[in-house]
């Protein structure tokens, strides 16, 4: 069985347990298996669940193979039922686990997306940008050398009037070298501590008089400019803020369930961990 065929079968199986088919009147029948309709929507859903490299294949081109994989799934499932495999204890246990997983995803999705209103997003945005006016960003360039001696030689060249950007292009071993060592604007917490401390201590238009050692080597730094941090636009971060709210709500929902429940953990040999016992709150 080819890798593609295996992935198609896996995708159609996931589709079967995760995505309900539309009614026959809502989209066309693309095949029948012993009288059971296979709808175009099922094929489209299977296509969306494929790895990205297969999703890039035009749908019309991969359509016949997808239909075949759905047919194979239906045929195998029908044979399994005829052999009463669906009545075996192992199968029922697996289905209970699958049901629990789908229910978990469903309820989490509902809780995480509940009432994420424009007002909630705007409130989160206002809180995020409230302190940005007090924060500063530095626009810096750097020349990265392997040894302190090499970095000191660069500083000597600068003392003689050398152009920082040109020296970076010729000598820097860092990836920003071809761009004149330009790192753009950055705020605190975005660079390694040694580099950040040195850059934020410098005045606009100055360069470091001694090499700055970090885990990457020895840096000569030039501060091109300093400015107050600019707040991102609401539109540019709205999706990110929504995701943050969703994640927080999901975590809070699970934590609340735990607080209301009596949970006892056990060791590998079955002994209760009494110090880990969680009683529900009154």
**Tens-digit pLDDT profile for residues 97-145:** 999 999 999 999 999 988 889 999 999 999 888 877 668 999 999 999 9
Look at residue 72 in the predicted model and tell me its pLDDT: 93
Residues 50, 170 within the same domain: no
Residues 121, 143 within the same domain: no
- pLDDT greater than 80 at residue 10: no
Q: Work out the pLDDT band at 22, boundaries 50, 70, 90.
A: very low
Look at residue 89 in the predicted model and tell me its pLDDT: 96
Look at residue 179 in the predicted model and tell me its pLDDT: 96
Q: Round to whole Å and give the CA distance between 74 and 70.
A: 6
Q: Work out the pLDDT band at 18, boundaries 50, 70, 90.
A: very low
Chain-centroid distance of CA 86 in Å reads: 37
DSSP the chain: --HHHHHHHHHHHHHHHHSPPPPTTTS-EEEEETTEEEEHHHHHHHHHTS-HHHHTS-HHHHHHHHHHHHHHHHHHHHHHHHTTGGGSHHHHHHHHHHHHHHHHHHHHHHHHHTT--HHHHHHHHHHHHTTGGG-EEEEEEEEEESSHHHHHHHHHHHHTT--HHHHHHHH--STTGGGTTEEEEEETTSS-HHHHHHHHTSPTT-B-SS-EEETTEEEEEEEEEEEEPPPPPHHHHHHHHHHHHHHHHHHHHHHHHHHTS-EEEE-TTS-EEEEEEEPPP-
Residues 178, 162 within the same domain: yes
pTM attached to this predicted model: 0.55
Residues 129, 67 within the same domain: no
Domain that holds residue 116: 88-134+232-282
Residues 92, 57 within the same domain: no
Number of domains making up the chain: 3
Residues 18, 141 within the same domain: no
pLDDT tens-place string over residues 67-108: 999 999 999 999 999 999 999 999 999 999 999 999 999 999
Residues 167, 209 within the same domain: yes
Q: Mean per-residue pLDDT for 163-187?
A: 96
Token pair 């850059």 in the structure block, residue: 199
Residues 76, 209 within the same domain: no
> CA torsion sign, 154 to 160 to 162 to 164?
positive
Residues 167, 57 within the same domain: no
Look at residue 1 in the predicted model and tell me its pLDDT: 43
Say if CB 150 and CB 199 are below 8 A apart: no
Look at residue 7 in the predicted model and tell me its pLDDT: 57
pLDDT tens-place string over residues 32-58: 999 989 999 999 988 888 888 888 888
Q: Which of 228, 250, 267 is the last residue of a domain?
A: 228
Look at residue 282 in the predicted model and tell me its pLDDT: 52
Q: What is the CATH number of the domain that holds 190?
A: 3.10.50.40
Look at residue 279 in the predicted model and tell me its pLDDT: 53
Residues 106, 74 within the same domain: no
- pLDDT greater than 80 at residue 26: no
Look at residue 275 in the predicted model and tell me its pLDDT: 55
Above pLDDT 70, what percent of the chain? 87
Calculate the average pLDDT of the chain: 88
Residues 255, 115 within the same domain: yes
pLDDT tens-place string over residues 192-216: 999 999 999 999 999 999 999 999 9
Q: Which of 84, 115, 148 is the last residue of a domain?
A: 84
**Which carries the bigger pLDDT value, residue 279 or residue 205?**
205
């Amino acid at each position: 069985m080819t890798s593609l065929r295996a992935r198609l079968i896996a995708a159609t199986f996931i589709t079967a347990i995760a995505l309900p088919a539309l009614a026959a009147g809502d989209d066309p029948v693309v095949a029948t298996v012993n009288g059971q309709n296979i709808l175009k929507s099922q094929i489209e859903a299977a296509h969306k669940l494929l790895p990205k490299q297969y999703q890039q294949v035009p749908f019309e081109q991969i359509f016949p193979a997808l239909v075949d994989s759905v047919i194979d799934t239906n045929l195998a499932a029908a044979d399994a039922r005829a052999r009463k495999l669906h009545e075996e204890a192992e199968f029922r246990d697996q289905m209970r686990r699958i049901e629990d997983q789908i229910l978990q995803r469903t309820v989490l999705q509902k809780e995480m997306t509940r009432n994420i209103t424009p007002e909630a997003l705007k409130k989160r945005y206002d809180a995020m940008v409230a302190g940005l006016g007090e924060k500063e960003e530095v626009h810096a360039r750097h020349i990265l050398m392997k040894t302190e001696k090499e970095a000191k030689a660069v500083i000597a060249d600068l003392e003689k009037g050398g152009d920082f950007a040109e020296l970076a292009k010729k000598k820097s071993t860092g990836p920003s070298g071809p761009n004149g060592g330009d790192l753009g604007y950055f705020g605190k917490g975005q660079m390694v501590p040694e580099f950040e401390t040195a850059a934020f201590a410098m005045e606009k238009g100055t360069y470091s008089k001694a090499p700055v050692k970090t885990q990457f080597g020895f840096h000569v730094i030039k501060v091109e400019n300093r400015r107050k941090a600019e707040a991102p636009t609401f539109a540019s971060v709205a999706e990110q803020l929504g995701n943050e709210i969703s994640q927080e709500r999901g975590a809070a929902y699970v934590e609340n369930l735990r607080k209301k429940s009596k949970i006892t953990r056990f060791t590998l040999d079955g002994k209760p961990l009494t110090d880990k016992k969680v009683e529900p709150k009154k």
